[in-house]
Structure 1
Amino acid sequence: MEKVLVTGGAGFIGSFIVDELVRRGYEVRIFDNLEPQVHPGGNPPDYLNREAEFVHGDVRDYDALRKAIEGVRVIFHQAATVGVGQSMYEISRYVQVNTLGTANLCDILANQKHQVEKVLVAASMSSYGEGTYSCKECGEVSPLLRPSEQMAQGDWEVHCPHCDSILKPVPTRETKKLEVNSIYAITKRDQEDMVLGVGRVYHIPPVALRYFNVYGPRQSLSNPYTGVVAIFMSRIKNNHRPIIFEDGEQSRDFVSVHDIVQANMLAMEKEEANYQVFNVGTGRPITIKQIAQVLAELYGVDIEPNVTNTFRKGDVRHCFADISKIQEQLGYEPQVDFKEGMRELIEWSRQVSAEDRVEQATQELRERGLI
């Protein structure tokens, strides 16, 4: 059996990757620091696969990470601190964990004896900034962030940088220039660039998977800095209205954690993935308002979202994936229908406690002038 390391393997996505690797007969080692914001109390979660080896350690600890890599053939680098808004004031922590933690991994691969033959890194759609758009007059364009002055007037749409007409969102390809606009996005780009760069130089095949908005069971419902689906679920479980910025018509690509696992398995097993970057999403945009409405409907409560018509600095209007590359080269196909995925999340959430800290987190952003 090949030995595989999953950094962040006790977390939401990492734990599902661990489960599938164990199911396929791999010998799996989990390396996770049990971040209290994700794991209150600092204890391993109940869902953690008992057939995997668990190592309590932090990617910022060079020696601990070096020991965790011993005997490993494949690394799934999932460890990261997540959250766009929080990253804009907990700057040092995000850079230390995401950027310097990944620097430790790459330094070990470059300078220490090891048996690693492949590294897969969890990259992020946040590195794109705004998605790709089409202009009737100017063709395909990749605009920068909307100016705060425009947003303050309640004009939420993205305008063509050439003719100022309102743009239509289209799928975003991997070839789009990265326009990072948050510390989180910067650090995720750092992770991707370092793993790809070091892997190429030392002939350790790297793969970067740019996750779009991932949802599913095991998301921390008490962490107000995690994904929007989990945040809305926490609000609804506590009989509170989901808070939506702008007009709620901004859209994202919501992909089930099970499809993220599918992409990781294909990327590990197929040589065609080596040295490549792939979007992992569904290719279908869904508005933020739709997310809140569907969750409330499926949960069986009459709660309408609170559309605030205020904005967060750095938010993008639309971004959804062009998944043609991963479909054609790896045979990836999204398997989980959106509503079925939401039902699975809701059924799981009924057995899980959720402390609603969203208003506290929102106030923190407001105090810092980010809303």
Structure 2
Amino acid sequence: MKHVLVTGGAGFIGSHLADELLAQGYRVRVLDTLAAQVHGDGTRRPAYLHPNVELQVGDVCDKEAVVRALQGIDAVFHFAAAVGVGQSMYEIAHYTRTNNLGTAVLLEALIASPVAKLVVASSMSLYGEGLYRDGSGGVHGNCERTLAQLERDEWELRGADGGLLTPLPTPETKAPALASIYALGKYDQERMALITGRAYRMPTVALRFFNAYGPRQALSNPYTGLLAIFASRLLNDSPPRIFEDGLQQRDFVSVYDVVRCCRLALESPAADGEVFNVGSGQPLTVRDIALRLAQVMGKPHIEPEITQKYRVGDIRHCYADITKARKRLGFEPRVKLDDGMAELAAWLKDQAAVDRVAQASAELSARGLTV
């Protein structure tokens, strides 16, 4: 498997994966549309994309472009996707076309030209709420908050007896609870790939990414990862804007750990046909991550703006149980949060960002997608 195709490989995680693969002796080809929302206007090759990467500019929904990109390829990482929970709730056709149809086009091309392995990028968003325990020790995996509860600013989940539920690490065995069009599309992507891989005896792996962070995030995209959105605000001396009360928990994992796990999934026969969480395994509140970012960027005086509003499709707590990746792949996160944040801050010093967060928030509000 020496010649690898990465769809969406000019983006944040994909470009870091290309670096990881090149360092291990692979040849890398990338198929990417260079979408304006991610890369800015024009179709220029990103300066950060390694010079040894062969870039083909094309749409994963274009059969001819996909067939051309697959020529001579031994393995595929399918990362091409429209990303963002909030935007997916009103650009439904765009998200469905890119994520669902794009995957279907790739899979049909792979049936005709099979590869030694396919690795598809999924998302923690498909879990909806994470796993919880009640006061009696019972474990719950189908929790949700009612609209009436959210309208009263009651953010935490409660059991049938009214007691608060405690979040637990979320394993791959938790049933999906699809709360957004984006989550639905990511679940469709992984199931389509695994079903097709099994039917055509093509080893396939799905990786459920949690909140990846690091250099090269699209800072001017208001629907990208949390840290990138917060960084965009801070670069413009504006407070990070946080929904609810800021105490919701997420799992933040370095992009370097993410791409190493991707390579392990490619190289390990134990990964075939399986789904894996890719995270740090450590929960952190959204408010805390905003405060840490402001600190490392030298702007500790800029505290986050807590909106006390709910965004449709958001969940309260979810962080990864990475036991399976540890046992099957030998994966262990190596980058400590403080070190990763320091590197991110160093990279941000030379960056500029167009702050579109207020515009995006207004768009959601106008459509009734915030409460």
Q: Shared fold (TM-score greater than 0.5)?
A: yes
Q: Displacement of 1:143 after TM fit?
A: 3.1
Corresponding position of 1:252: 250
Deviation string, structure 1 residues 123-154 (Cα, Å, up to 9, x no partner): 10000000000012260001333111101111
The residue aligned with 2:202 is 204
Match of 2:262 in 1: 264
Tell me which residue corresponds to 2:70.
69
What's the CA shift string for 1:265-310, capped at 9, x where partnerless? 1101111111110000011000000011001111111101111111
Q: TM-score, normalised by structure 2?
A: 0.98
Which structure 2 residue ranges, 5 or more long, are not aligned? none
> Do the aligned residues in 2 keep the contact of 1:119 with 1:207 (CA within 8 Å)?
yes
Structure 2 matches for 1:1-371, cutoff 5 A? 2-41=2-41, 42-110=43-111, 112=112, 114-137=113-136, 139-160=138-159, 162-301=160-299, 302-371=301-370
Q: Is the 8 A contact 2:114 2:202 kept in 1?
A: no
Cα deviation 1:131-183 (Å, max 9, x = unaligned): 000012260001333111101111111111x3232100000000000011100
Distance (whole Å) between structure 2 residues aligned to residue 144 and residue 80 of structure 1: 28
Q: Deviations over 1:196-248 (max 9, x none)?
A: 00001111000000000111100000000001110000101100011111111
CA contact (8 A) 2:205 2:274 kept: yes
The residue identity in structure 1 corresponding to 2:270 is E
Cα separation, 2, equivalents of 1:56 and 1:309: 42
Aligned residue pair count: 368
Q: Which runs of 4+ in 1 moved over 4 A?
A: none
Is contact 1:72–1:115 with CA below 8 Å preserved after alignment?
Answer: no
- Percent same amino acid at aligned positions? 51
Whole-Å separation in 2 of the counterparts to 1:304 and 1:115: 51
> Match of 1:205, as an amino acid?
P
Q: TM-score, normalised by structure 1?
A: 0.98
Unaligned runs of 5+ in 1: none
Amino acid at match of 2:39: H
Distance 1:144 1:36 in 2: 37
- Helix, strand or coil at the partner of 2:47: coil
Q: Which SS does the other structure have where 2:80 is aligned?
A: coil
Instruction: Give 1:115 shift.
Output: 4.6
1:269 maps to a residue whose letter is E
User: How far apart, CA to CA, are the structure 1 residues paired with 2:333 and 2:304?
Assistant: 28
User: Which residue identity lines up with residue 131 of structure 1 in the other structure?
Assistant: G
CA distance in structure 1 between the aligned counterparts of 2:340 and 2:137, rounded to whole angstroms: 38
